Amino acid sequence: MCGIVGLFLKDKALEPQLGAMLTDMLITMTDRGPDSAGIAIYGDESEGKAKLTVQSDTPEEDFDKLKGALKKEIKGDVDIKVNSTHAVLEIRADQVAAARAALKEIRPNVRVMSRGDTLEIYKEVGLPKDVAARFNVSAMAGTHGIGHTRMATESAVTTMGAHPFNTGDDQCLVHNGSLSNHNSLRRKLRRDGVHIETENDTEVGAAYLTWRMNQGATLGEALESSLEDLDGFFTFVVGTKDGFGVVRDPIACKPAVMAETDQYVAFGSEYRALVNLPGIENARVWEPEPATVYFWSHTTPTPSEKAA
Amino acid sequence: MQTLDLSEIGLREVNKTLHAQAENTNQTAWTIENARGSHAIACGLDAPIEVTVKGSTGYYCGGMNQQATINVHGSAGPGTGENIMSGKIVIEGDASQYLGATGHGGLIVVKGNASSRCGISMKGVNIVVQGNIGHMSAFMGQSGNLVVLGDAGDALGDSCYEARFFVRGSVKSLGADCEKKEMRPEHIEFLKEILAEAELDADPSEFTRYGSARNLYNFDVDNAGAY
């Protein structure tokens, strides 16, 4: 089991409440995944700047004087917002690689959770309500976001095993299910030079998508080919800068419910997660079809479903 | 009419109250309010009562039902009516996966669509779906009837035994050892009765019957690949 929630806002007036709505949905999914929880939130953007969300088990030491130290290393502007065990570093977009390399040197225990223009990922071990409170997720604003509650099956309960996983700039993946060919796929991807940190199955799924996109595939194409190349059970929800996508394996054992109104598109592992959303009584509620890739985007003129 | 507010008294209290109804109870009409997708609503009932659930339900609503009539005024989550023995479940909206799994008897009616694995391993239950059903429906169905006024998804009736399937629309594909069968007068007669009981209007002559080709019943080395 695991719980997934997602919310894509069409109505700008709801943006300040995104974190609060997602928090409520996430906590409802606690009994599907009490081990750890995480949230990917797409917030504001500063021209020419990129965000690196980083994590440390010893934030007092690692984040202390990090701003100055990193500034000195990359010789560019650094802004830092510390939030519990996480910190969001805002740097010049062209200095992301330099900053990552510098971090490895000056703060070897700091791990990168995500990178992108608007994406921030927060995840930790613990009950969803505690994780959400730790990061004060309910105060966060944004255009769309994805949350995950984990019941670990394939690997240890650790921060790095929690979801969402960052797959590329402003892209993230959450997963309900279990992949059965992750060991062989991990070996194959590592041979191709892909960095995979843990023994977690979903990280392999995320690395697979990144690898396919590095070969030139679009996210949609990468999801399509995942239906061929990944063996096991999955309902995936992926976040992009513009929106989110959903795909389920052809057997579709893992539950998924979607709801759409004029104000939002929402995803939940169960209908329960959606019951407090405004106007849910009159929303169009349906289950996404197996082996079909769905996308909602802020940049397409009409929110649309793309059939596989 | 007795009303139970699930958000106020909780699931255990709701189900305990319904379980306490005897065969000859005078309180035969019950309404459950604020279902809000909760799991296991009205599970294990065994009295001739009528329960109306306001809102959509989560996993296993009406599971193991005997005698009772359960109306869901909303959509129903996975495993609704699992192992139903008798009585009736009517879902006004859609039903999620494995509706009526392993059901031994009674009737389940869905006014919307039913998802994948509808009637999986059915053992005598009758299921009538006004809309469409998803893939792998009636997998290993042993007995009972699955009546679909819309279309059926992939692999209908895979590895089925003696369950019967009546589909008015198209069937995307048939499962292993499931085949099209002739409609005889007794089948028309059965459809007339079951559609009347389900209070749905459809012309029985428009349905096609499917069932087991009975080739997988006993091990045959030529079929080894199909097992």
**Cβ atoms within 10 Å of A214's Cβ, excluding its own:** 13
Beta carbons of A275 and B96 less than 8 Å apart? no
Same domain, yes or no: A165 and A282: yes
Q: How far is A95 from chain B (nearest CA, A)?
A: 47
Same domain, yes or no: A99 and A230: no
- Active-site option among A1, A2, A180, A192: A2
pTM to 2 decimal places: 0.93
Same domain, yes or no: A64 and A31: no
For residue A224, what is the domain's CATH number? 3.60.20.10
Q: Does B37 touch chain A (CB under 8 A)?
A: yes
Pick the last residue of a domain from A69, A100, A117: A117
Q: Which residues of chain A have pLDDT under 70?
A: 300-308
Amino acid residing at A212: R
Same domain, yes or no: A151 and A246: yes
For A176-233, what is each residue's pLDDT tens digit? 999 999 999 999 999 998 888 888 999 999 999 989 988 998 888 999 999 999 999 9
Same domain, yes or no: A225 and A269: yes
Q: Which residues of A touch B75 (CB under 8 A)?
A: 271, 285
The radius of gyration of chain B from alpha carbons, rounded to an integer in Å, stands at 18
* pLDDT number for residue A300: 59
CA neighbor of B164 nearest in space, from B184, B134, B138: B138
CATH class of the region B2-216? mainly beta
Q: Which residues of A touch B61 (CB under 8 A)?
A: none
- If one compares A221 and B173, the residue with the highest pLDDT of the two is B173
Number of domains observed in the structure of chain A: 2
Q: Which residues of B touch A253 (CB under 8 A)?
A: 97
Residue B170 tokens, joined = 């198209």
- Which residues form the domain of A152? 2-43+126-297
**DSSP alpha helix (H) spans, chain B:** 6-19, 185-197
CA neighbor of A296 nearest in space, from A229, A219, A233: A219
Beta carbons of A271 and B97 less than 8 Å apart? no
For testing contact with chain B, the best of A235, A287, A289, A292 (most B CBs within 10 A): A287
Whether A303 maps to a domain, the answer reads no
For testing contact with chain B, the best of A258, A269, A270 (most B CBs within 10 A): A270
Beta carbons of A255 and B97 less than 8 Å apart? yes
Pairwise CA distance, residues B203 & B210, whole Å: 17
Pick the last residue of a domain from A91, A117, A143: A117
Taking all residues of chain B, what is their mean pLDDT, rounded to a whole number?
A: 96
Measured between CB atoms, which of B37, B59, B115 is closest to A275? B37
* pLDDT number for residue B84: 98
Whether A9 maps to a domain, the answer reads yes
Beta carbons of A271 and B77 less than 8 Å apart? yes
Whether A306 maps to a domain, the answer reads no
Pick the last residue of a domain from A62, A84, A117: A117
In the annotation, is A172 catalytic? no
Same domain, yes or no: A51 and A170: no
* pLDDT band, residue B226 (cuts 50/70/90): low
Whether A304 maps to a domain, the answer reads no
For chain B, the domains span 2-216
Residue B130 has pLDDT above 80, yes or no: yes
Q: How far is A239 from chain B (nearest CA, A)?
A: 25
Amino acid residing at A237: V
Same domain, yes or no: A233 and A289: yes
* pLDDT number for residue A302: 41
Same domain, yes or no: A107 and A222: no
For residue A64, what is the domain's CATH number? 3.30.70.120
For B36-57, what is each residue's pLDDT tens digit? 999 999 999 999 999 999 999 9
ipTM: 0.92
Same domain, yes or no: A54 and A168: no
- β-strand partners of A2: A150
Beta carbons of A252 and B58 less than 8 Å apart? no
